[in-house]
Amino acid sequence: MPRIPRAVKRPWWPLWLAGLPLAAAAQAPATANPDEFARCLAGIQADAQREGVSKATFERALDGVRPELSLLELLDNQPEFRTPIWDYLASLVDEERVQDGRAMLAQWAGPLAEIERRFGVDSATVVAVWGVESNFGRNLGRRQIIPSVATLACHGRRQSFFRGELVAALKIVQRGDVAPEQMLGSWAGAFGQTQFMPSTYLRLAVDFDGDGRRDLVNNVPDALASTANFLDKGGWRTGQPWGFEVRLPEGFDAAGTGRRNKATLAEWQSRGVRRLDGSALANGRVPSEGVALLLPAGPKGPAFVVYRNFDVVFGYNAAESYALAITHLADRLRGGGPFNTPWPTDDAGLSRAERRELQTLLLARGHAIGEADGVLGTVSRAAIRAEQQRLGWAPDGRAGQKLLARLRSGG
Q: What is the total count of residues that contact Ca ion (CB under 5 A)? A: 5
Stretch in the footprint of Ca ion (CB under 5 A) among 157-165, 207-215, 243-251, 262-270: 207-215
DSSP 8-state code for residue 132: H
Q: Is 211 in the site for Ca ion (CB under 5 A)?
A: yes
Q: Facing residues of 246 across strands?
A: 275, 303
- To Ca ion, the closest distance from the beta carbon of 110 in angstroms equals 15
68 contributes a contact to Ca ion by CB under 5 A: no
Nearest-5° Cα angle at 165, 214 to 171? 45
Closer residue to Ca ion in complex, CB, 149/224: 224
Please state, in angstroms and rounded to a whole number, the distance separating the CA atoms of residues 162 and 13.
17
Closest distance of CB 228 from Ca ion, Å: 14
How far is it, in rounded angstroms, from Cα 232 to Cα 133? Answer: 18
Shortest distance (Å) from residue 210 CB to Ca ion: 7
Stretch touching Ca ion by CB under 5 A, among 30-38, 138-146, 213-221, 334-342: 213-221
Residue with CB nearest Ca ion? 207
Strand partners, 296: 298
Task: Print burial letters for 249-275: b (CB count within 10 Å at least 16), e (below 16).
Answer: eeebeeeebebeebbbbeebbeeebeb
Quick check: 222 binds Ca ion (CB under 5 A)? yes
Of the pair 76, 209, the CB lying nearest Ca ion is at 209
Residue 177 engages Ca ion in binding (rule: CB under 5 A): no
DSSP state of 287: P
- How far is the C-alpha of 296 from the C-alpha of 208, rounded, in Å? 36
Of the pair 222, 387, the CB lying nearest Ca ion is at 222
Binding window for Ca ion (CB under 5 A); candidates: 173-181, 208-216, 240-248, 325-333: 208-216
**What strand order describes the sheet that includes 243-247?**
274-275, 243-247, 303-306, 292-294
Q: Does 114 bind Ca ion (CB under 5 A)?
A: no
Q: What is residue 53's three-state secondary structure?
A: coil
Q: Is 209 in the site for Ca ion (CB under 5 A)?
A: yes
Integer-rounded Cα Rg, in Å, for the chain is: 23
The region of 10-18, 106-114, 215-223, 359-367 touching Ca ion under the rule CB under 5 A is 215-223
Q: How far is CA 338 from the centre of its chain?
A: 20
- Asked if residue 64 lies in contact with residue 105, where contact means CB atoms within 8 angstroms, the answer is no
- Within 321-360, the residues that bind Ca ion by CB under 5 A are none
- Choosing from 76, 114, 116, 207, the residue that interacts with Ca ion (CB under 5 A) is 207
Residues contributing to the site for Ca ion (CB under 5 A): 207, 209, 211, 213, 222
